[in-house]
């Protein structure tokens, strides 16, 4: 695998309170890992895999979805979620990725596994747009509006300060002109 080693070395250099450190989207190590996985295993990810949980009773599909908000091809916000779909209930729901740590390939179990039918891609996209992207868009919009208002206020304060400073300087120069003979 090929990745930016400096990201990993920087990650190791940060002191941590214990042996376990949680990384999430936005963390440079997490982003480097996702980028490496996408570069090397994108085709395998599209095919998917079958894993078995000793605790789950109903089969379902899990989808790793990425929701992006873009403005003129610039990613303004990005979220990654794991969404599951149980075909017998015909429902989608958010799934914790940590529970997949306890899943195993079918070869570990002696019994035959039945693969559930996959959900239509359009249904998954529709659910993601309705339950993730629409809220993400509203949240991103409000953050951008707040940011713009803060920037406008900052510019107003800067211009006011500049006007006060320039007015003071002009007054000082005018006073010199009037009070000192021969100064122009």
Residue 1 pLDDT > 50: no
Please state, for a pLDDT cut of 70, what percent of the chain lies above it.
67
28 three-class SS: helix
Q: State the pTM of this model.
A: 0.55
| Separate counts of helices (H) and strands (E) for the chain | 4, 3
pLDDT at 141: 92
CA angle 85, 132, 126 (to 5 degrees): 60
- Got the DSSP string for 8-24? HHHHHHS--SSS-----
Residue 66 pLDDT > 70: yes
Residue boundaries of the structural domains of the chain = 1-46, 49-179
Q: Which residue has the higher pLDDT, 3 or 46?
A: 46
Query: Residue 117 gets which letter from DSSP?
Result: P
Q: How far apart are CA 146 and CA 58, in angstroms?
A: 45
Beta pairing partners, 86: 91
Pull the structure tokens for residue 94.
């958010």
52 three-class SS: strand
């Amino acid at each position: 695998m090929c990745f930016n080693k400096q990201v990993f070395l920087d990650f190791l250099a940060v002191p941590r309170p214990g042996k376990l450190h949680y990384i999430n989207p936005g963390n440079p190590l997490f982003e480097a890992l996702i980028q490496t996985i996408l570069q090397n295993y994108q085709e395998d990810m599209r095919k998917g895999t079958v894993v078995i949980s000793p605790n789950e009773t109903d089969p379902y599909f899990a989808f790793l979805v990425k929701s992006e908000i873009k403005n003129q091809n610039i990613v303004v916000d990005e979220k990654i979620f794991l969404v599951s779909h149980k075909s017998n209930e015909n429902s989608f729901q958010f799934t914790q990725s940590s529970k997949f740590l306890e899943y195993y390939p079918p070869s570990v179990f002696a019994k035959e596994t039945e693969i559930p039918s996959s959900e239509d891609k359009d249904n998954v996209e529709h659910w993601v747009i309705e339950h993730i992207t629409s809220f993400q868009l509203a949240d991103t919009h409000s953050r951008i509006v707040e940011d713009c208002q803060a920037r406008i206020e900052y510019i107003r304060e800067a211009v006011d300060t500049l006007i006060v400073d320039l007015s003071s300087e002009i007054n000082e120069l005018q006073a010199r002109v009037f009070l000192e003979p021969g100064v122009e």
